[in-house]
């Protein structure tokens, strides 16, 4: 018995290491930042200005990107200023918001038949960040609140659920899916026939509500944020804890069917919302949820290879994932070990974007973060890359972070003991995955026991670094040899086991056979979004152009000139390294919580 104990424990510890290897970035490419901050600021500023220069007189990109992409860019302008403690883009943003409001009250973009709710909310997110960035300038709060109302009008409330119907929607609402309420879910668009409640819209609404809750302390926003995050967690999260695309809310036609596609955007929005919430509520269960999501999302092999560089199904990077991770990192709202892990991952993306997605000196960033770069500008692809460039502004230059791989220590794992958060009615696989996590925790504890046992035997003091704990029994074995062959336990999404009556393949792909004259959005942005109804949330130069174009009246021309002037001035004021004020951004990471 005593003889077999070491062997037994070695096997267990080995298993624990394999478990930990899921999140060990030893194979990641360059998880450290070597570019000085001033250079990173210059790169991000130049990439921003390049994008701003491509905005049209209506405030949207001239290139045929989804309208929301401009909103995402506006958010990055504010986030850039937050990270660098400037108000470089305050005036421009004020102008752009005003212009976009002309194409629809509360950023609703009413020039389109059925605009995507998430596209509208992207502007609200931007306005809320601008409010924080620019010293609580009240005009930005007003814009954010207006946008919130538009989102609220398309989000299921508990009253809607009990009434069984939603204003403007022509179907009966399902009351419960997966033994949990559908309240908190936001519809994809306002098409009366479209019953899809989706991860994009719910995620953008979550972030907006969380930012407003933080900025105003109004409990209405906190409640909305909690409902959104609960909805995403209970209805859209798969067994691997990755956020999926949509769920149908029609009680009579495939109720509760989950479209199980995943991309980093949906999980990134959830990360961002949870980071904001947990940083000001200090709610332990929100914190746990965030930690769990980080440990699921960062190693997810569905959208990256062993080098750790994000590469989605369409081959590109992802802005929302990096914005979410940037929120986690800048708010310092997770454990120190996970904080370092997130920082290393952001660094991988930053280095990849700079090395592979752009040609030196062009400041144009292509779709693929693994290269090759494209000389052609795309608002979407540029905005994606900006996600990495801007979140990396919070990182410290360091030469030490790669020396010890950022495997979460048993302490982290122990902090992730499954909480009784509503994992209702999950399938057997859920139990297995839950069991696996629990198992890893248990193994961590066993590893700790083994370490104590070793310490007794060796009669020498152990290393004090907690993350060295797991590796101590194998002084010669660095973690890296274990990674490549074992980093597959989290695989890309299986179809949802809990979806009864799965949608047809066409439905899943988001391709509606009829009405081919309405092109879907660029595949990267919405491979699954245009799924029902007219699918008309697309900005295109088709038959609707008069409608969309009509918002620019001749009386707006002075504004156009103003914007062009602003653009020129912004171009002329590209960041100069010598202008760098002493001691700015990095330490100021809690600024946004004022
Ligand atoms: C726009 O926002 C205001 C609140 O700021 C709200 O009263 C109004 O109902 C909203 N309109 C729509 C169409 O969302
Ligand atoms: C609602 O759906 C029913 C049955 O599909 C249809 O007869 C009715 O015209 C629809 N109403 C609207 C306003 O679309
Ligand atoms: C923490 O968040 C959870 C779910 O998000 C909520 O149910 C709970 O009431 C919150 N706790 C506190 C103390 O606010
Ligand atoms: C982040 O939080 C930890 C405590 O969790 C603290 O020790 C550390 O100094 C913080 N880092 C920054 C940059 O504020
Ligand atoms: C880009 O420029 C940097 C120095 O500014 C240089 O080290 C790097 O090799 C260049 N890359 C390419 C692809 O030319
Ligand atoms: C770039 O633009 C040129 C000219 O419009 C076009 O021929 C080429 O295919 C484009 N390349 C990419 C990668 O889109
Ligand atoms: C931008 O990304 C999309 C989607 O991945 C890709 O199809 C397109 O070619 C890219 N555009 C340019 C100009 O590189
Ligand atoms: C950064 O990481 C790369 C690869 O992991 C390594 O070659 C390089 O020495 C590291 N640089 C520093 C300063 O740590
Ligand atoms: C459904 O939820 C209720 C409480 O919310 C719980 O009592 C019940 O056991 C759950 N049913 C299933 C099948 O999970
Ligand atoms: C940020 O800027 C404000 C003035 O706009 C200044 O008071 C503050 O000290 C700056 N903070 C840092 C960290 O540079």
**Ligand 3 atom 11, closest CA:** 283
Mutate which of 335, 336, 395, 401 to test ligand 4's pocket (most atoms within 8 Å of Cβ)?
Answer: 336
| DSSP at 418 | P
Q: What are phi and psi of 61, to 5 degrees?
A: -65, 145
Give yes or no for residue 233 CB within 6 A of ligand 3: no
Give yes or no for residue 588 CB within 6 A of ligand 10: yes
Cβ atoms within 10 Å, residue 176: 13
The Cα 243–Cα 297 span in angstroms is 9
pLDDT at 399: 52
| 454-486 per-residue burial string, b: 16 or more CB within 10 A, e: under 16 | eeeeeeeeeeeeebebbbbbeeeeebeebbeee
CA–centroid distance, 335 to ligand 4, in Å, is: 9
Q: Whose structure tokens read 């005003």?
A: 98
**Ligand 6 atom 8, closest CA:** 376
- Token pair of 291 as six digits: 């930690």
| Each residue's pLDDT expressed in tens, for the chain with a length of 594 residues | 444 555 445 444 443 443 343 355 789 999 999 999 999 999 999 999 999 999 999 999 998 789 999 999 999 999 999 999 999 999 999 999 999 999 999 999 988 999 999 999 999 999 999 999 999 999 999 999 999 999 999 999 999 999 999 999 999 999 999 999 999 999 999 999 999 999 999 999 999 999 999 999 999 999 999 999 999 999 999 999 999 999 999 999 999 999 999 999 999 999 999 999 999 999 999 999 999 999 999 999 999 999 999 999 888 999 999 999 999 999 999 999 999 999 999 999 999 999 999 998 899 999 999 999 999 999 999 999 999 999 999 999 865 444 344 444 434 433 333 333 323 322 223 333 333 444 444 444 444 444 444 444 443 333 332 332 222 223 333 333 232 333 333 333 333 333 333 333 223 223 232 332 233 333 333 333 333 333 333 332 222 322 222 222 223 323 333 333 333 333 332 233 333 333 333 333 333 332
- Token pair of 480 as six digits: 């890296």
Atom of ligand 6 nearest to the CA of 366: 13
CA–centroid distance, 64 to ligand 6, in Å, is: 14
CA–centroid distance, 426 to ligand 9, in Å, is: 11
List pocket residues of ligand 1, CB cut-off 6 Å.
105-106, 108, 145-146, 149-150, 153
Mutate which of 25, 32, 395 to test ligand 8's pocket (most atoms within 8 Å of Cβ)?
Answer: 32
Give yes or no for residue 584 CB within 6 A of ligand 10: yes
Atom of ligand 2 nearest to the CA of 192: 14
Atom of ligand 10 nearest to the CA of 135: 5
The ligand placed nearest to the CA atom of residue 317 is 7
The ligand placed nearest to the CA atom of residue 589 is 4
Residue 433's contacts (CB-CB under 8 Å, 6 or more residues apart) are 239, 240, 241
Q: Which helix (H) or strand (E) holds 436?
A: helix 428-458
Q: Angle at Cα 417 formed by Cα 412 and Cα 420, nearest 5°?
A: 140
- Would you say 503 and 512 are in contact if contact means Cβ atoms under 8 Å apart? no
Domain edges within the chain = 469-579
Give yes or no for residue 399 CB within 6 A of ligand 8: yes
Give yes or no for residue 425 CB within 6 A of ligand 9: yes
Q: Whose structure tokens read 């269960």?
A: 285
Strand pairing partners for 176?
A: 181
**What is the rounded radius of gyration, in angstroms, for the C-alpha atoms of the chain?**
24
Strand pairing partners for 186?
A: 155
pLDDT at 329: 98
Query: Edge to edge, what strands does the sheet with 258-259 contain?
Result: 196-198, 246-248, 258-259
Cβ atoms within 10 Å, residue 234: 22
| Helix axes of 336-356 and 319-331: crossing angle, nearest 10 degrees | 140
The ligand placed nearest to the CA atom of residue 338 is 4
- Would you say 125 and 207 are in contact if contact means Cβ atoms under 8 Å apart? yes
The Cα 165–Cα 182 span in angstroms is 12
Give yes or no for residue 286 CB within 6 A of ligand 3: yes
Give yes or no for residue 179 CB within 6 A of ligand 9: yes
**Ligand 2 atom 5, closest CA:** 170
The Cα 132–Cα 75 span in angstroms is 11
Q: How many CA atoms within 13 Å lie on the side-chain side of 556?
A: 20
- Would you say 394 and 586 are in contact if contact means Cβ atoms under 8 Å apart? yes
Q: Whose structure tokens read 């070597």?
A: 34
CA distances from 112 to 107, 545, 546 (A): 12, 9, 11
The Cα 273–Cα 448 span in angstroms is 34
Atom of ligand 7 nearest to the CA of 376: 13
- Would you say 67 and 59 are in contact if contact means Cβ atoms under 8 Å apart? no
Atom of ligand 9 nearest to the CA of 424: 14
CA–centroid distance, 152 to ligand 1, in Å, is: 9
**Ligand 9 atom 12, closest CA:** 425
The Cα 25–Cα 343 span in angstroms is 11
**Ligand 9 atom 14, closest CA:** 425
CA–centroid distance, 354 to ligand 5, in Å, is: 10
- Token pair of 232 as six digits: 């995403």
The ligand placed nearest to the CA atom of residue 192 is 2
**Cis? peptide before 569, omega within 30° of 0:** no
| 280-297 per-residue burial string, b: 16 or more CB within 10 A, e: under 16 | bbeeeebbbbbbbbbbbb
The Cα 41–Cα 32 span in angstroms is 17
Mutate which of 424, 425, 430 to test ligand 9's pocket (most atoms within 8 Å of Cβ)?
Answer: 424
Atom of ligand 10 nearest to the CA of 584: 14
3 state DSSP class of 425: coil
- Virtual torsion, Cα 588, 355, 340, 48, nearest 10 deg: 30
3 state DSSP class of 372: coil
Helical residues (DSSP H) of 298-402, grouped into ranges:
319-331, 336-356, 379-391
Mutate which of 374, 375, 376 to test ligand 6's pocket (most atoms within 8 Å of Cβ)?
Answer: 376
Phi-psi region of 410 (alpha: psi -120 to 50; beta: other; left: phi over 0): alpha
- Would you say 505 and 486 are in contact if contact means Cβ atoms under 8 Å apart? no
The Cα 379–Cα 70 span in angstroms is 8
Give yes or no for residue 401 CB within 6 A of ligand 3: no
CA–centroid distance, 192 to ligand 2, in Å, is: 9
Q: Which helix (H) or strand (E) holds 117?
A: helix 117-133
The Cα 117–Cα 129 span in angstroms is 18
The ligand placed nearest to the CA atom of residue 87 is 10
Atom of ligand 9 nearest to the CA of 422: 5
CA–centroid distance, 5 to ligand 6, in Å, is: 64
CA–centroid distance, 360 to ligand 5, in Å, is: 6
The Cα 409–Cα 286 span in angstroms is 20
CA–centroid distance, 460 to ligand 8, in Å, is: 32
């Amino acid at each position: 018995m005593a003889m077999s104990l070491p062997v037994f424990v070695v096997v267990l510890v080995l298993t624990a290491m394999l478990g930990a290897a899921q999140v060990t970035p030893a194979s990641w490419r360059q998880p450290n930042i070597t570019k000085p901050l001033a250079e990173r600021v210059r790169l991000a500023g130049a990439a921003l200005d390049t994008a701003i220069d491509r905005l049209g007189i209506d405030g949207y990109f001239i290139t045929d990107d989804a309208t929301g992409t401009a909103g995402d860019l506006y958010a990055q302008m504010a986030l850039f200023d937050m990270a660098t403690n400037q108000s470089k883009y305050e005036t421009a943003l004020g102008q752009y918001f005003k212009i976009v409001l002309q194409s629809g009250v509360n950023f609703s973009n009413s020039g389109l038949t059925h605009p995507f709710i998430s596209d509208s909310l992207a502007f609200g997110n931007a306005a809320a960040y601008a409010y924080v960035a620019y010293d609580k300038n009240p005009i930005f709060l007003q814009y954010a609140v207006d946008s919130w109302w538009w989102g609220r009008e398309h989000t299921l409330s508990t009253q809607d659920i009990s009434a069984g119907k939603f204003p403007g929607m022509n179907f009966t609402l399902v009351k419960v899916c997966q033994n949990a309420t559908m309240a908190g879910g936001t519809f994809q668009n306002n098409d009366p026939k479209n019953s899809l409640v989706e991860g994009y819209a719910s995620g953008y609404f979550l972030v907006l509500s969380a930012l407003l809750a933080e900025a105003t302390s109004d409990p209405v926003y906190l409640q909305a944020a909690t409902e959104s995050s609960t909805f995403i967690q209970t209805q859209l999260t798969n067994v691997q804890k990755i956020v999926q695309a949509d769920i149908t809310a029609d009680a009579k036609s495939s109720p509760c069917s989950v479209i199980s596609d995943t991309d980093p955007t949906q999980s990134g929005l959830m990360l961002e919302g949870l980071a904001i919430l947990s940083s000001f509520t200090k709610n332990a269960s929100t914190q746990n949820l965030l930690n769990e999501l980080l440990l699921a999302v960062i190693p997810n092999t569905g959208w990256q290879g062993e080098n750790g560089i994000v590469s989605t199904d369409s081959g590109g990077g992802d802005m929302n994932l990096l914005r979410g991770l940037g929120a986690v990192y800048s708010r310092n709202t997770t454990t120190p070990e996970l904080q370092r892990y997130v920082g290393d991952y952001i660094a991988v993306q930053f280095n990849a974007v700079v090395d592979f997605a752009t040609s030196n000196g062009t400041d144009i960033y292509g779709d693929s973060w693994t290269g090759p770069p494209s000389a052609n500008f795309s608002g979407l692809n540029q905005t994606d890359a900006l996600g990495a460039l801007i979140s990396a502004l919070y990182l410290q230059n360091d030469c030490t972070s790669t020396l010890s791989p950022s495997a979460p220590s048993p302490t982290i794992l122990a902090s992730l003991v499954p909480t009784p958060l509503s994992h209702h009615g999950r399938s057997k696989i859920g139990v297995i995955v839950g069991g696996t996590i629990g198992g890893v925790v248990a193994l961590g504890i066993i590893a700790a026991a083994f370490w104590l046992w070793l310490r007794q035997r060796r009669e020498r003091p152990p290393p004090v670094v907690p993350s060295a704990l797991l590796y101590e029994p194998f002084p010669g074995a660095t973690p890296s040899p274990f990674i490549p062959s074992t980093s597959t336990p989290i695989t890309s999404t299986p179809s949802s086991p809990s979806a009864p009556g799965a949608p047809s393949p066409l439905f899943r792909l988001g391709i509606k056979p009829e009405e081919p004259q309405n092109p879907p959005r660029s595949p990267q942005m919405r491979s699954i979004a245009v799924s029902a109804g007219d699918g008309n949330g697309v900005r295109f130069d088709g038959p609707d152009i008069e409608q969309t174009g009509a918002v620019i009246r001749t009386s707006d021309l002075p504004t156009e000139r103003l914007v062009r002037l602003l653009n020129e001035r912004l171009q002329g004021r590209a960041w100069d390294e010598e202008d760098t004020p002493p001691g700015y951004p990095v330490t100021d990471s809690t600024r946004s919580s004022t």
